[in-house]
Amino acid sequence: MNPNKSFKTWTTKNGVQITRIMGGRSNVFLCSVGGKHLLVDTSVPRLWSKLQKRLHQMGIMKLDYLILTHAHYDHAGNAFLIQHEFGARVVIHAHEEAFLLTGNNPIPKGTNFIVKPLVQLLGKIFLNYLRYIPCKPGFVIHSDIQLPDFGNTVSIIHTPGHSPGSQSILIDNEIALVGDAMFGIFKGSIFPPFACNVTQMIESWGRLLETEIIWFLPSHGSSNHRSLVQKEYLKRRESYQT
């Protein structure tokens, strides 16, 4: 059920629904498969009440999983509350586990001439503002997997670059929830303004393109079609070849 007209929903050929229940600051996605529900990311701590309300509007009182694309505060900021109120098993990549356990948010490097100096100048100042309630994960991922209890529907693959343990969630090998591996804000570009390792991030685009995914749903902005991702990958790969 989708009672809020502002929600955006995608449906795979197999009938699996993915609903963006929060946008704006950070996208939060709900995926429902055969009566089971998983959430991808949680937005920032100050939006907890809004997230809670949106889940209740969708009739969700229990979540089977919360999958975190990575442990930055605008993705994992409400993980502890989701875990305790909705009973979700929190899923994180091993390279992000330490950050989730402490609520710390390392700031990735800027990727353009505007953001780079800002991060260098202000990064340490903002660290205290980016902390969140620590959360103990229930499932730490060390390699690509198919999510238990969801058959062949949900896969998780390692897509580092924005952060060391960034991961993407593939639904029916048709739609991917990619976190900050790419953005959907800038017209004609998927290039994020932040990444700890740009070359690695572009290699992750290549990994995603090895799948049959058609639509890539980032955590910031709107969806990216495969054709744009392919174009950006070929363009950026040449620029950042080592």
Give the C-alpha separation, 232 to 13, whole Å: 26
pTM of the model: 0.91
Residue 26, C-beta contacts closer than 8 angstroms, at least 6 positions apart: 41, 43, 44, 74, 75, 219, 220
97-106, 111-120, 219-228: segment of lowest average pLDDT: 111-120
6, pLDDT greater than 80: no
- Note the pLDDT of residue 102: 96
pLDDT digits (tens, 9 = 90+) for 193-226: 878 899 999 999 999 999 999 999 999 999 999 9
**Region 170-177 average pLDDT:** 98
- Note the pLDDT of residue 120: 54
The CATH T-level fold of domain 8-239 is Metallo-beta-lactamase; Chain A (3.60.15)
- Note the pLDDT of residue 240: 74
- Note the pLDDT of residue 2: 54
Average pLDDT along the chain:
90
* 80-118 exposure pattern, b = at least 16 Cβ within 10 A, e = fewer: bbbbeebebbbbbbebbbebbeebbbebbebbeeeeeee
122, pLDDT greater than 90: no
Residue 108 binned pLDDT confidence (cut-offs 50, 70, 90): low
- Note the pLDDT of residue 93: 98
Displacement of CA 84 from its chain's centroid (Å): 20
